[in-house]
Structure 1
Amino acid sequence: MKQNKYDDPIFFDKYKQMARSVDGLKAAGEWHIFQKLLPSLNNKRVLDLGCGFGWHCQYAVEQGASSVVGIDISEKMLNVAREMTPIEIQYLQMPIEDINFLANSFDVVISSLTFHYIASFSNICAKVYECLAIGGAFVSSVEHPIFTANSNQQWCVDNNDKRLHWPIDNYFDEDIRKTNFLEVEVLKYHRTLTTYINTLIECGFKIISVIEPQPDNELLKTDPLMQDELRRPMMLIISVSK
């Protein structure tokens, strides 16, 4: 199932007002960790799957990448990306499930918060393995399985809206979750931590790092609600090599 909520005008208007849409990578609580897991991008061929507004693509260019390709299903997202980021970046509109690059096409493949929207993680991992050069790096982030397990994806609160705890249910039921994001129903695919790790191993990758990032210290200082993000992991970042 290939979703494209971002080309809906109402949803897109809400999404582009989010902090990470306005301020880019510095507003992404996990970026300080994701950035550290990236290899040197100097003179590297970089592919970004689910590139959105192109923030990671722009970073790759700034770091001296020899070529950068960004893939996204949303025409609206890519229109903004083309306006904001350097002309050296090649943006392609397609579902990331449909990529079909030749072997040894890229040195680094990245993806930020995308794979929980696609039905087959194993298929995309196999395609990334095929197009990645020997020794190449694949760094990706997803919503943490603890976050996706319960389709509600909301804190349990008391009568005063004080956040009590994060509910986890049906963790081992790997299936579609109908969630609410920006007041729109969005389908997400819940997978266990075991599935994410073992799928990468079965596709031939070597695990380098598995990190459950905590928010950046600056965000913790400026946004009081971010303190609650220390109570349960929201994201999972995995770095592997071919």
Structure 2
Amino acid sequence: MRQKSKVNNNGFIDENEISNRHAAIWLGTPRGLDERLAGEDHSSRRASFVGLSNKFRDSAAWHGPVEDLKGDEAVAMLRLPNEEPDPSESKVVIALNRRTTTEPASEISPEVMERFWESCLNRLQPTALDWLKAGGTMWDHLKLELAPEWTAELLGLEKVDADIERASQAALFGALATRVSPVDLDTVLYALGIFIHTHPFFADAVRKGVWHLPYGEDTVYTVTKRRMR
């Protein structure tokens, strides 16, 4: 079961805890971007500029101190880095043949993968609701025009409607635009594609394909340390 931290009286994660995991960081002037992001201090640097939208202040949990900036203003939405230890680091999921493997039964039992996967999920940080809306809002504002065939090819789709294209591009752009560290867009795209190809709602839109287990029903998955060369 997922372990919740700092729950409120209703049994849900405290909204303040979720909001504190994100920071709308002011960067001063556009030229100060590289200098700010190159620093090791990712703590929130929040300010109340004259031109900053009040609605943005509210949805981004923006608060003082008040600072009057002379010249250009630049704001970046950056998700704070997850400082919890990553249980998947230096680990790799492998498939073994249940009938021929020499691994001890205790190492390939379903409980091993269950414990590993739960530890991975427990490390994930809930995202504040308004921040989940950020990608779509920014993408709509940009009004970028892409050929539908481009999205269809990336996601393995037979056809792409406006809703699928908007949602997929918003997911990719939102992940990139709120990063505090390098983002592997290929991995984001892969996860998005798996979601689409797995959910029955998109069954009529995806291209037909199949994945076979390496050893058929004798396949057993476990996790092991990655050997570094």
TM range (shorter): under 0.3
Structure (1/2) with the larger helix percentage: 2
- TM-score w.r.t. structure 1 length? 0.23
Answer with 1 or 2: which has the greater Rg: 2
Considering Cα pairs closer than 8 Å and 6+ residues apart, tell me whether 1 or 2 has the greater RCO. 2
Structure (1/2) with the larger strand percentage: 1
